[in-house]
């Protein structure tokens, strides 16, 4: 009995030691994972942050550049007949198939809120499919020239406006995105006025200052053109010929802090695309009064419409 008890005791001690060692190893592994993980950043900052959409929803009838035709939307049509299911040429609808599939007829890749790559005006420049994934999340700077634009709709942002921002917030961070707030996006539902000069822009001097002095990733603006120099496109040609990109047609900059926020960037990756259908989202500190938190709009499950979706005269489901 004594030998048996000793054997059991030794086994227990060995087992306890192994469990303790395993626990220490597990905790050490957890610490190693946490040290190399961004989940802590998500829990401590991004989960409580405020999210603001900077993107216009695209629909026919919106603002277009001079000389372009609008895009078309409607139900996708069956390309072949499937016996007992659908006939060739019939639309996929909730009523007939229990499914909605939408077809888009896009006459160009410069519609709505955009990511403008160098290939738009540079036959050696990067296309949309060449843009690296590292652009996905950057510091966001908002330079407010809305008061100047209210007094002069054709106001072109000046270096003095950027330096005024820097006097209040410090040097613009390298690699950041600088969006020029003019509040012109509030005219989005006035398509003719939105695209008819004069409209606000960004001077060539500002573009050079931001890229050559501050080494930003890119700038962005609310109108669909960089400046008022069409058809020469002075600022845009300099920008794209020097292999820089820009954001165009951004919205809701009046709801974003001038400093301290991030911007998330996404776009459709068409091979060789000369323009990008973009989605920009600002991520502001939790104390910011505008925007929504992940708790308020978790994204799963997604919102439900009170009434059934039906296509309007423009082909869009609403």
The mean per-residue pLDDT over the stretch 83-107 comes to 94
- CA-closest candidate to residue 157, choices 168, 167, 177, 143: 143
Q: With a cut of 80, say whether residue 26 has pLDDT above it.
A: no
Q: With a cut of 80, say whether residue 244 has pLDDT above it.
A: yes
- The reply to whether 254 and 207 lie within a common domain is yes
**How far is residue 216's CA from residue 219's CA, in Å, rounded to a whole number?**
8
- The reply to whether 182 and 220 lie within a common domain is yes
- The reply to whether 93 and 160 lie within a common domain is no
pTM: 0.88
3-class secondary-structure state, position 75: strand
pLDDT top residue among 64 and 9: 64
Residue 304 in any domain: the answer is no
The Cα-based distances of 81 to 55, 89, 102 in angstroms read: 39, 8, 18
Residues ≥6 apart with Cβ < 8 Å to 112: 55, 56, 57, 58, 62, 249, 277
Question: What's the pLDDT at 21?
Answer: 52
Residue 10 in any domain: the answer is no
Residue 42 in any domain: the answer is no
**How far is residue 155's CA from residue 148's CA, in Å, rounded to a whole number?**
7
**How far is residue 199's CA from residue 227's CA, in Å, rounded to a whole number?**
8
Residue 19: band (very low, low, confident or very high) from pLDDT cuts 50, 70, 90: very low
Residue 6 in any domain: the answer is no
The mean per-residue pLDDT over the stretch 227-248 comes to 96
Q: With a cut of 60, say whether residue 22 has pLDDT above it.
A: no
The runs of H, that is alpha helices, within the chain are: 2-35, 39-41, 94-97, 146-151, 159-169, 191-195, 204-208, 234-241
Question: What CATH number is associated with residue 224?
Answer: 3.50.30.50
The runs of H, that is alpha helices, within 170-252 are: 191-195, 204-208, 234-241
Residue 296 in any domain: the answer is no
Question: What's the pLDDT at 33?
Answer: 53
- The reply to whether 79 and 170 lie within a common domain is no
State the residue range of the domain holding 83.
72-105
- The reply to whether 76 and 173 lie within a common domain is no
The mean per-residue pLDDT over the stretch 47-73 comes to 96
Q: With a cut of 80, say whether residue 23 has pLDDT above it.
A: no
């Amino acid at each position: 009995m004594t030998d048996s008890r000793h054997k059991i005791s030794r086994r227990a001690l060995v087992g306890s030691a192994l469990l303790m060692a395993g626990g220490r190893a597990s905790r050490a592994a957890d610490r190693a994972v946490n040290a190399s993980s961004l989940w802590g950043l998500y829990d401590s900052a991004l989960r409580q942050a405020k999210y603001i959409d900077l993107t216009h929803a695209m629909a026919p009838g919106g603002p277009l550049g001079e000389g372009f035709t609008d895009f078309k939307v409607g139900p996708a049509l069956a390309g072949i007949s499937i016996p007992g299911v659908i006939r060739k040429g019939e639309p996929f609808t909730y009523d007939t198939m229990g499914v909605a599939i939408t077809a888009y007829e896009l006459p160009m890749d410069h519609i709505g809120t955009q990511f403008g790559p160098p290939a738009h005006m540079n036959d050696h420049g990067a296309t949309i499919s060449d843009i690296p994934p590292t652009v996905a999340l950057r510091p966001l700077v908002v330079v407010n020239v809305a008061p100047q634009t209210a007094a002069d709709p054709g106001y072109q942002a000046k270096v003095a406006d950027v330096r005024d921002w820097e006097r209040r917030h410090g040097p613009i961070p390298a690699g950041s995105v600088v969006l020029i707030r003019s509040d012109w996006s509030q005219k989005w539902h006035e398509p003719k006025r939105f695209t008819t000069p004069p409209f606000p822009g960004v001077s060539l001097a500002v573009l050079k200052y931001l890229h050559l002095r501050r080494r930003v990733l890119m700038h962005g603006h609310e109108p669909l053109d960089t400046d008022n120099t069409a058809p020469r496109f002075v600022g845009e040609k300099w920008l794209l010929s020097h292999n820089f990109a820009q954001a165009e047609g951004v919205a809701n900059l009046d709801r974003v802090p001038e400093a301290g926020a991030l911007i998330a960037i996404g776009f459709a990756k068409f091979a060789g695309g000369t323009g990008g259908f973009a989605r920009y989202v600002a991520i502001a500190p939790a104390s910011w009064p505008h925007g929504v938190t992940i708790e308020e709009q978790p994204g799963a499950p997604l919102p439900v419409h009170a009434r059934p979706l039906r296509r309007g005269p423009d082909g869009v489901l609403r």
